Structure formats: C-alpha cells, structure tokens
Amino acid sequence: MKSQCVSRWGLPVLAVVGLAGNLAAANADLVAQGKVLFQTKICFTCHEVTGGPPALAGVAMKAPKFDGNFWGKERTVTLGFGGKDATVVFDEAYFIESIRKPIDKVVKSAAAPMPPPPAVNDQEMKALMAYVKSLSDGTAPAAGAGGIVAKGALQKFRYRVYNGSWSNLPDFEKLKPVKTGEAKSGIADTNFSKKRDNFGLVIEGELQIKKKGKYTFNLGSDDGSRLLVNGKVVINNDGVHGIINKSGSENLDEGVALVRIEFFEKAGGEHLSLDMSGPGIKKLQLARNTAPQGGGKKPAIATGNPIEPKNNEAVMYRNFIQGASPRGIGVGYPEKLNICFDANALNIVMTWHGAFMDGAKHWNGRGQGFQPPSGHYLINMKRAQAIAQLPDAKTPWPELKLGNNDDDRAKGLRFRGYRLVEGRRPIFKYTAGDTVIEDYVIPEAGALPSFTRQITFTGDGKFYYLAAADDSIEKQGNSWKVGDSLKLTLDSQEKPILRDGVNGKELLVPIEATGKATLRAKYEWDLN
C-alpha cells in the first residue's frame, strides 16, 4: 500500500518539476506568439510599447501605452464611453474584458473607446496577455531579483540645461549652463528645460549595479543624444532627426556605474527615452519625455516619409498642413522653393525653402492632425483671400474667420482646381462670377530661392490683389519690405495702394480686366 502510494505520488511530483521548467519555456513561447499577435490583431496601431515604433493613431486616440510598470496597477476607467468613473486593476480579468468588451470600461484618458479588434480566441488571448504582461517593466516589487535598485534608479542625480542652436551635440563642458539642479525623481526628462526649442541637457547620475553582467541600453531621441556609462560612449544617437532609437551594451561590475546622458533639441518634435535591461531586470526606465507634445505648445512632428520633388518635376501634397486651413495644397518645386496654397482662402498662405513636406503624420495610423512644413525660412502669409471685387479701395478686405465652417472660405470666389503644366507645376484656378483667375508660381533657384506669382484674369471686371498684408510694409526703392523677411516687387500697370485694414498694413493692387489682364509680383527672402 505504502509503496504504491510512492509510485502514485512520485510520478506527478516529477512531472510538476518538469512542468515548472517547461512553464518558463512555454511562457517565452507565449510571449513570442503574443508579440506577433500584437501586430496581426492591430494592437500596435494604437498601443505604443517601450522601444516600439510610435503609434500615431494611438496618440490621436490617447490610447494607453504599454510602458513602465502597469501590470497589477490601478487605473481609472469610465463605465461605458463617457460614463461614470470607476477604478480597476490592470490584471488578467481586466485585460480579457477590455478586449472582449472594449466599450464596457474605457480608460478615462482615452479620446475614444477601442474599436473591437479582429476576433481573438482563447489561446490567442493567453499569448497576447503574456506579451503585454512582459512589457510591464517589473521595476516595482521585483525585489530580490537582484539586478538593480528600482524606479527612479538614477542616484545622486544632477542635470544642467543649456541654451543654443546646434545641429550636433556640442561639447557641453565648454558651455555655460543656464540652469543646474538636482532631481529626486531619479529619472531623466527633457522637461528640465523650460524652452522647447534650441536647448541642450546633460544629465548625470549613479546606478547601483547589484549583479555583474552585460547590460543593454536603448536610447531614443529627437533630436540628438548620446549615452556614456562610466565615461565611455555606449550609444551615439547624434544629429538633427525625428525619433530614432539606438541600442548599445556594456559589461558592468557590481557597484556604482556612472551614467551620463547628453541631449539637444533644435526645433520641431522633441523626444528622449532611455531604458536598460540586463541580469535580473526586464526593462528599467531611465529617461522619459513629459514635455508638452501634440496639443500642447508644440505638436509632435512625425518624420520618416519625406516627400520631395523628383525628376525636375514639382510634387504636390494635399492634406492637413499646419498653418493652412484643412484645404491646404502644398507644392514643392525642384528649385527648393515650396508654397502652400489654401483652397479655402484661395491664396498662398505659406512659403518656405528646402525640404518640402513629410507624409509621416498622415501616412501612418489613422493620420490625425496637421503636419507642419519641413524645410526652413518659413514665411506665414496672412490667411486672407488674394483677390476681391471691391467697389473702391476704401472698402475693407473680406475677413475670413478661421474656424470650421463657411466663414473661412474666400468671399465671392469659387475654387475650380488646377492644371499641371510643364514640370507638373500647377496653375490654380478660381472664378469670380464669369471671370476666370489663374494663379501660377514661377520659382527661381538660388542661395535664397524666390518666386514670381503670375495672376491672369480672363473676363471683365475690376478687382484688387492683396499683394501683401503684414504688421509692417515699407517702400524700399522699387520694392516693398513686408514684415521681417520678405521683399516684394510688383509688375503691374496700376499703382499699388498701401492702407491700414483688417489684416494690418495691406498692399492692394488694382486690376481692371477687359477680356484679359495679367499681373506679376515677385517675392524674395530678405533676411537682413
């Protein structure tokens, strides 16, 4: 009886031991499967993961990210979208519920409930859950794991903020910081700088390494950054760029490791992230980015799909372009001159040099938001209509109310599209009654490219062209200085009229069309 008992119980015990080993392997398999499912079930389009690509759709929807230490933690949800608040624990039950019934408990900060994903079966659910669980960095109660001190890992943490405009990391030791400080947070953040453009940061701290071994760091930044550990460059992520993630590894002994992060931000998008993994640590966050992004002062600029003129042909980009109405039409010319024609205002509302546009914002995820022009020397023109039929030169220029309805459309004009002429350059067309107005940009290459705007009227009538509108317009020889950086030269039969109006100073050119009339205005950059 006794021996029988041993044999009956002995076997299962062995099996359990074997199972424990298998369980770890099985979990690794599950995580791997889950990682694939995270793609195929399109979770990735909204839920950003640490070190993963930016989930642009998720930014728009304010979808929760899977980074940091989230598993087992409480989160605030609403019961139904927009419903009453409640608190849930992010655990297995909640995970499954939120996939099966995404509308029941919606994370409060989300801008929309999660659309139901493609069907997830029970096995897939297990795998997805294993993967998502593995993303939680386990920094909190992972005591005894013996890797490193947890959350806020940087000890004796100091930072220095510098102001300046660089294209590569400067030698910060030769510069004078505008601000220095100590931070108890133990986590690096670009928010130490009050400025959001043209600044640099040096962040130094100590890490307590509890276990000798190879540690891997993952540094992401926009613009440039580098990581030094114990004075040695482990990752170089220098230069002006969008978010780029780079990895590097270093063997560390038990004891203190000195960590130094250098970072600079020129203009546009801003990002800094650093995490590490190694013996006993899955993922530990060392740097983050809490500076206002998209919706704040400075929207995140998506990069990665540059659109450039090719084969000596102009290229067009019709989309939500920052600085124009939602009916923006960008044109990039091979002369390195770009314009944005606004099909609501029926005018050129922006012009700039160099790189034309980047499609990344609109070509990834759902494409929410307005993309600013790439390039440089951007000039924002007044968003007013170019042409108006006024009874006299004293009548106020039609005012466009920038908003979401008909009030921001040009008055008395109708957009008719465009045709492409040689080099696929567009001639924009709009009508005022029976009069057809054709609007054509002739760019000129050079150190500072310029352009001539040629407007042709076919029909009869008396019109005015708003050649410029700005806070200051001054006559300079045969030209006009408009604002800080534009030089305008008019080629027209009629004498222009400078007046004060709803758009500040307004420079009006009268046009009397009988059958046909053409006027030209040359716009040059004057940076003096």
Site for other proteins, rule CB under 8 A: 40-42, 45, 57, 60, 80-82, 103, 111-113, 115-119, 315-320, 326-327, 329-330, 343, 359, 362-370, 404-406, 415-421, 424, 429
Give the nearer residue to other proteins in terms of CB position, either 276 or 321. Answer: 321
We find the least distance from the C-beta atom of residue 370 to other proteins, in angstroms, to be: 6
**CA-wise closest residue to 62 among 108, 104, 25:** 108
Secondary structure of 287-309 as H, E, C letters: EECCCCCCCCCCCCCCCCCEECC
We find the least distance from the C-beta atom of residue 106 to other proteins, in angstroms, to be: 9
Give the nearer residue to other proteins in terms of CB position, either 89 or 420. Answer: 420
Give the nearer residue to other proteins in terms of CB position, either 142 or 307. Answer: 307
Give the nearer residue to other proteins in terms of CB position, either 238 or 408. Answer: 408
Give the nearer residue to other proteins in terms of CB position, either 117 or 147. Answer: 117
3-state class (DSSP) for residue 490: strand
We find the least distance from the C-beta atom of residue 368 to other proteins, in angstroms, to be: 4
Distance (Å, whole) CA 470 – CA 437: 24
Give the nearer residue to other proteins in terms of CB position, either 15 or 420. Answer: 420
**CA-wise closest residue to 157 among 197, 199, 208:** 208
Give the nearer residue to other proteins in terms of CB position, either 35 or 266. Answer: 35
We find the least distance from the C-beta atom of residue 315 to other proteins, in angstroms, to be: 7
We find the least distance from the C-beta atom of residue 64 to other proteins, in angstroms, to be: 17
CB atoms inside a 10 Å sphere around CB 445: 12
We find the least distance from the C-beta atom of residue 412 to other proteins, in angstroms, to be: 15
We find the least distance from the C-beta atom of residue 464 to other proteins, in angstroms, to be: 23
DSSP 136: S
Do 224 and 322 contact (CB within 8 A), yes or no?
Answer: no
We find the least distance from the C-beta atom of residue 326 to other proteins, in angstroms, to be: 4
We find the least distance from the C-beta atom of residue 113 to other proteins, in angstroms, to be: 5
Do 450 and 462 contact (CB within 8 A), yes or no?
Answer: no
Give the nearer residue to other proteins in terms of CB position, either 56 or 188. Answer: 56
Peptide bond into 197 cis (omega under 30): no
Q: First and final CA of the chain: distance in angstroms?
A: 103
Q: Could you tell me how far CA 487 lies from the centroid of its own chain?
A: 32
Name the token pair of 398. 């039609």
Distance (Å, whole) CA 468 – CA 480: 9
We find the least distance from the C-beta atom of residue 103 to other proteins, in angstroms, to be: 5
CB atoms inside a 10 Å sphere around CB 181: 11
Give the nearer residue to other proteins in terms of CB position, either 255 or 423. Answer: 423
Q: What is the largest CA-CA distance in the chain?
A: 118
Do 286 and 154 contact (CB within 8 A), yes or no?
Answer: yes
We find the least distance from the C-beta atom of residue 431 to other proteins, in angstroms, to be: 10
Give the nearer residue to other proteins in terms of CB position, either 64 or 186. Answer: 64
Distance (Å, whole) CA 309 – CA 302: 19
Task: Please enumerate in sequence order all residues whose Cβ is within 8 A of that of 297, keeping only pairs 6 or more positions apart, or say none.
Answer: 196
For CA atoms 42, 43, 49, 54, give the dihedral sign. positive
We find the least distance from the C-beta atom of residue 314 to other proteins, in angstroms, to be: 9
Beta-sheet pairing, 281-288 with 188-189: parallel
Task: Please enumerate in sequence order all residues whose Cβ is within 8 A of that of 497, keeping only pairs 6 or more positions apart, or say none.
Answer: 393, 507, 508, 509, 510
We find the least distance from the C-beta atom of residue 234 to other proteins, in angstroms, to be: 34
Give the nearer residue to other proteins in terms of CB position, either 30 or 56. Answer: 56
**Helical packing angle, 122-135 and 2-40, nearest 10°:** 80
Give the nearer residue to other proteins in terms of CB position, either 198 or 322. Answer: 322
Give the nearer residue to other proteins in terms of CB position, either 439 or 506. Answer: 439
DSSP 100: H
Name the token pair of 523. 């716009």
**CA-wise closest residue to 360 among 425, 299, 423, 273:** 299
* Residues facing 459 on adjacent strands: 515
